[in-house]
Chain A
Amino acid sequence: MIQPQTHLNVADNSGARQLMCIRIIGAGNRRYASIGDIVVAVIKKAVPNMSLERSEVIRAVIVRTRKELKRSNGMIIQYDDNVAVVIDQEGNLKGTLIFGAIARELRQLNFTKITSLAPLSRRHAEVKKLGPSCPGFESFPR
């Protein structure tokens, strides 16, 4: 439940550290953003000497929220903080690395670059290590 004035941490190495949400992209009077939504944000804290500076207005996609994410299979997932990843106007990633866990919902929303950069869970790492010799390699949910 991210709304304007919400501070978000940043999960990539784009140079921003903390963002403040200004607006949620989508239909008119949209109240809250959750995982997978794009927001317009202003940079409140930045790492010195990088491409992004403080008080720059950029777009970001929400990747982790403290509000629970409900899946259609009944699973409910809650993260520890509100985190976003910086994006440009077209939807391409600004940074090159992602830190922390990413919800699977982002894959369905065509943020494939983010999901591919995200660190793997232990089970995924095991399957990837075994490679095509592992039974069910192709059908394993990524």
Chain B
Amino acid sequence: MRLEKCWFCSSTVYPGHGIQFVRNDAKIFRFCRSKCHKNFKMKRNPRKVKWTKAYRRVHGKDMTQDSTFEFERKRNRPERYDRNLAETVLKAIPKIDKIRVTREERHHKNRMKGKKEKLQKEAAKELEQSISLVKAPSALQKDPSLTLPQKIKVSVSQRQSEDNNAMEE
């Protein structure tokens, strides 16, 4: 029994699922479900179809190169059964999965970095420009709570930090 990867979306195909298509040059295409199969028949390129793993890898949305992927590489050479080896492998699989997931999350976080700042800047600009759609300008002058507070810089003297250290003791 082997867990294969869907040719189109790269998800795992479990036994009893999906269809295998054998082309005349004997290349086998495995599909996890009819959605992928139909897209293949339509001659769509998975690298251009947004929800596939191929697209995400090509466009840098997901990790491409990582040492955790080496463990899942396809091997055609059967291994001699060794109970100790099998035990270590079974113990290692969830660990490797966890590491891969944390690395993917980190990749995602790095990708999304700078988004919060961007959103806040845009929100501030929108508040400044379009607040007149919500409240009349005269009302704003009377009640300044709708504008963002101006940032005031406070300089910290050396003396204060020494006092803090005394407290920590």
Contacts and interface: CB of A to CB of B under 8 A. Distances in A.
Interface in A24-53: none
Interface in B29-80: 76-80
Interface in A61-117: 64, 68, 73-81, 100-101
Contacts of B80: 135
A79 B18 CA distance: 14
Chain B's interface: helix, strand, loop or mixed, by majority?
loop
Nearest to B2: A123
B26 interface: yes
Contact of B24 (A100, A121, A126): A100
A126 B76 contact: yes
Contacts of A81: 24
Contact of A80 (B15, B21, B79, B81): B21
A130 B24 CA distance: 27
A96 to B, nearest CB: 19
Interface string A124-142: 0011001000111000100
A78 B21 CA distance: 5
Contacts of B76: 122-123, 126-127
Given A73-B15, A101-B26, A134 B20 contact: no
Contacts, number: 50
Interface residues of B, number: 17
B17 interface: yes
A74 B15 CA distance: 7
B6 to A, nearest CB: 14
Contacts of B24: 79-81, 100
B30 to A, nearest CB: 10
A100 B24 CA distance: 6
* Most chain B CB within a 10 A radius of its CB, from A73, A77, A81, A127: A77
Contact of A78 (B16, B17, B20, B79): B20
A68 B26 contact: no
A4 B32 CA distance: 34
Given A74-B15, A76-B18, A134 B23 contact: no
Contacts of B77: 126, 130, 134
A76 B81 contact: no
Contact of A127 (B18, B21, B23, B78): B78
B19 interface: yes
Nearest to A127: B78
Contacts of B16: 73-75
Interface of B: 15-24, 26, 76-81
Given A76-B19, A127-B78, A135-B78, 15 more contacts: A73-B16, A75-B16, A76-B18, A76-B20, A77-B19, A78-B19, A79-B22, A80-B23, A81-B24, A100-B26, A119-B26, A121-B26, A130-B77, A135-B81, A136-B78
Interface of A: 64, 68, 73-81, 100-101, 119, 121-123, 126-127, 130, 134-136, 140
